[in-house]
Each structure stands twice: as structure tokens, then as C-alpha cells.
Structure 1
Amino acid sequence: MIIGGARGKNKYEILRLSLDYEILNFTKQWSYLIYNASLFFSPAIQKQYFEKYGYGQMIPVAANDVAFSIHSVILNLIILSQISMFERGNQKFSNYAIAIVVVVWFSVAVCFFIALHSQSWLWLISIFNTIQAVMILIKYFPQAFMNFLRKSTDGFSIGSVLLDFSGGVFNYSQMLVQSKDQGSW
């Protein structure tokens, strides 16, 4: 992640990965994991799902969704641990990213206590699904801005963006096929 002393630069070149992107992505991946694992493993949430959408419907989360979420969170933990262990130059988390993360998790805490009182667990995990969808829309802005300021994408793999994008397209395609198959949009 860090290249030291290359091409006459300072001892450590600045990190080319936006810390803000990484913390927003981490929030997105945790939200997605909580949604997938809760809907896949919890009989109480599955019961609420069937009561809302009908007992003929299938749960929209498969084992591969849960496995992907776990994999993604673990990889993000590894990246964040590397960020904490290695030199970052003068780069730090921005106040905007920290504020977004704090607002998201504070909102989750409030929603948890609302759900706890009313036992609306399906509603609560739908909040997590909404969070992950919103984070998809905003998480790339810090990295794109950093690349713009540096006038370079050097050090940031477009492959990860393409994999993320194609995974989202395939996920929504899978949901469309399942919806058509079940006759329920």
C-alpha cells in the first residue's frame, strides 16, 4: 500500500486509497452482512417476512449472499488493520466521513430501540438494507475526489470497482429473475 522512497519522493508516498472510501465501504459491508445474516438465519425475521409478503414467497437471501458478506467484511477488516499499522503520510479520515458513519450508526441504534419495543425485526433489517444501498451511492465519491486532486488513478484498482458494479448488477438481476419466477414484484 505504501511505496517508500521511490522516484525521489518523501520517505513514504501518501496512501493512494482514500480512507474515507474505506470507512464508508466498511459501513456498507457491515450493513449488508447484518441484513443477509439476519434474514437468512433468524426464524423470527423469516416469519415476519412471510407474514408481510406471503408464505408462498421465498426468502430473498441465499447462503452465497451470506458468504459474500462475511468475506467482504473480513477483507475490509484486513484493509483497515493495514491502514492502522502502516504509514499514511498526512492522510486521515475526514470529518464528513466520520459524521456520515456516526449518523448512520446512531440512527441504527435509535431504530434498534424502536424495533425492540415493537418487535419489528423485519423493519429493522430493512433499515440495514437501505443503508447499504445508500452507501453504494456515496462511497466512491471520496476516492473519485482524491483521484481528481491527484490527477491520477495510480494505485487504485479499477478492477475492484468493476467487480463491485458487476456484483450489484448480478445481484439485482438475480432478484428480478426470482421475482418473475415467483410472480411477485
Structure 2
Amino acid sequence: MASWNSFPLEITYEVLGWIAFFSWSISFYPQVILNYRRKSVVGLNFDFVVLNLTKHSSYLIYNATLYFSKAVQEQYYEKYGFGEMIPVAANDVAFSIHAVLLTAFTLFQIAIYERGDQKVSKISVGIVSAAWLSAAVCVFLALPSHSWLWLISVFNTIQVIMTVIKYIPQAVMNFGRKSTDGWSIGNILLDLTGGLTNYAQMCVQSIDQDSWVNFYGNIGKLLLSLVSVFFDLIFICQHYVLYPAKAVAAISPKLEGESTEPLIKSPDHPQAENV
């Protein structure tokens, strides 16, 4: 296994990785807290959460297997060279575990809190079912030849596809409602920080090793960062430019699936919470 050539770059790599971990991990809490305070999940798109759980579960399988399995690491070296570094860090594994747990908890909130007439779409159920069915088929295909690196790459591909798809329902929902009420902007700002530092971490490793194998050896991590940043910028534009909170309070008569009474009735009214 390759070693670091520069100690300062190694420290920078670790620092960036854990900044990404804390940013991405903390990004789950504003939405969870907002749901708890409102006792409502109206405004949170359920398709986003369901797709997100599949995405993070797939990413956990990829990260944990490549980080801990010597057999998979051996296959990685054989494919990309024994002088290369494994492109998964401890912070990647820690983030994936945390993400699966918090996304599952958000689903639990959806089950117990006021949700109006919102529900998970049949399209999302179909996408998730197809993803896990494909993964199951690939497991049986990989067994005879022990193609473990190929198999976890399938899970990495699934997480990339889910990353691209998962943001679309929420972005479309915000556009349709002309509001980001019920959708935490704190989540997005932290997610943007995580995406940028995650990408920077990969750049630092490539600079130290004078090799770009780190990028195409873990294309899933690269695309995760780029896609997250792209959609985060869209959500930031929706929240601060297209549908600012004060304008929403003045012109929006109702939240989807709720009463037509004014949004802000009193300080204690549950829908007075704005993102």
C-alpha cells in the first residue's frame, strides 16, 4: 500500500475528511429538529427520504466493505496498482453509518407526525425495488468468480444514481408550492460544506500521490460531491432568491394538504415555523 509523501498534506486530508463528516452528519439534524418542533412533516418530500435511505445503505455497503475487507482491497490493488491508496477513509465509513441511522429515524418521524395528504409515490417505490432487485441479482453473479470489487462497485453505482434522483422530487415540490417551508435550509448549507470538503479531500490525496486514480477508482465519491453541490445551489437559490421566507408568509395561503387559514396565526401555531 502506498504511503503519504507529505505529512502536512496527510494532516490536511484527515482534517478535510472529518470536516466533511461533521458537516454531512450534522446536516441531518435541522430537518429532524424542524419535524419535531412542528410535529409535522408537511413540506418534506417523502420520496426524497425513501430514495435517500437506499442511497446511504448502498454507500455504506461500498465504503465498509472496501475499507475493512482485505480480499476486496487486494482486488482493488490488482486493478489499479499496488502503489495506490485505498480511496475510502475512516470518515467515509463513519458518515455512512450515521446517515443510514438518521435517515431511518426521519422515516419514523414521517410515520408518526402530521403529513397531510402526502405519501410516497409509486415511482419511488418502483425505483427502490428495482435497485435492490438488481443488487440481489449481482450478488448471485459475483459469487462464482468472487468478483467482490465489481459487486461493491455496483452498490457504488446505485448510490450515485440515487444521489442524482433523490433531490429531484424535493426541488420539483418546492417549485410547485413556490415555497421551501417545511424544508430545512440548514440541512442544505451543511450538505454544501460537506460536498466541497469531500471533493477537496480527494484533491489533496491526488496531489500527494501525483496520481488521479483516486478519482476514477472511487467515481462514486467524486460524483456524490459534485451532484450534492449542484443541487444544494439549486435549493439555496429557491430558498433565498425565488421563494424567500417573508414573501412566502405574505402570499402563500396554505401548505400542501393543510388548512386554508393563514400560515402565521400565532407564535404557538405549528405552521409558523419557517425554514
Residue 129 (structure 2) aligns with: 102
CA drift at 1:14: 6.5
Closer/same/farther in 2, CA of residues 14 and 124 from structure 1, 3 Å limit:
closer
Closer/same/farther in 2, CA of residues 20 and 40 from structure 1, 3 Å limit:
same
- The one-letter amino acid of 2:139's match is F
Partner Cα separation in structure 2 for residue 161 and residue 136 of structure 1: 14
Partner Cα separation in structure 2 for residue 134 and residue 164 of structure 1: 18
Task: Say which SS state the counterpart of residue 27 (structure 1) adopts.
Answer: helix
Closer/same/farther in 2, CA of residues 119 and 153 from structure 1, 3 Å limit:
same
Residue 18 (structure 1) aligns with: 45
The answer as to whether partners of 2:75 and 2:149 remain within 8 angstroms in 1 is yes
Partner Cα separation in structure 2 for residue 180 and residue 20 of structure 1: 39
The structure having more radius of gyration, on CA atoms, is 2
Of 52, 58, 82, which residue of structure 1 is paired with 2:79?
A: 52
Closer/same/farther in 2, CA of residues 107 and 121 from structure 1, 3 Å limit:
same
Task: Say which SS state the counterpart of residue 74 (structure 2) adopts.
Answer: helix
Of 136, 141, 144, which residue of structure 2 is paired with 1:117?
A: 144
Residue 84 (structure 1) aligns with: 111
CA drift at 1:41: 0.8
Residue 9 (structure 1) aligns with: none
The answer as to whether partners of 2:73 and 2:86 remain within 8 angstroms in 1 is yes
The answer as to whether partners of 2:57 and 2:100 remain within 8 angstroms in 1 is yes
Closer/same/farther in 2, CA of residues 87 and 47 from structure 1, 3 Å limit:
same
Partner Cα separation in structure 2 for residue 164 and residue 99 of structure 1: 27
The reply to whether residue 142 of structure 1 matches residue 169 of structure 2 is: yes
Partner Cα separation in structure 2 for residue 172 and residue 113 of structure 1: 33
Partner Cα separation in structure 1 for residue 41 and residue 53 of structure 2: 21
CA drift at 1:26: 1.0
After alignment, is 175-184 or 62-71 more displaced? 175-184
Tell me the TM-score normalized by structure 1.
0.88
Residue 222 (structure 2) aligns with: none
Of 92, 104, 113, which residue of structure 2 is paired with 1:65?
A: 92
Partner Cα separation in structure 2 for residue 136 and residue 161 of structure 1: 14
Number of equivalenced pairs: 177
Closer/same/farther in 2, CA of residues 123 and 37 from structure 1, 3 Å limit:
same
For structure 2, list consecutive stretches of 5 or more residues without a partner in the other structure. 1-34, 213-275
Partner Cα separation in structure 2 for residue 167 and residue 117 of structure 1: 38
Task: Say which SS state the counterpart of residue 118 (structure 1) adopts.
Answer: coil
The answer as to whether partners of 1:45 and 1:122 remain within 8 angstroms in 2 is yes
Of 201, 205, 213, which residue of structure 2 is paired with 1:178?
A: 205
Calculate the aligned-residue CA RMSD, in Å.
Answer: 1.7
- The one-letter amino acid of 1:66's match is V
Residue 10 (structure 1) aligns with: none
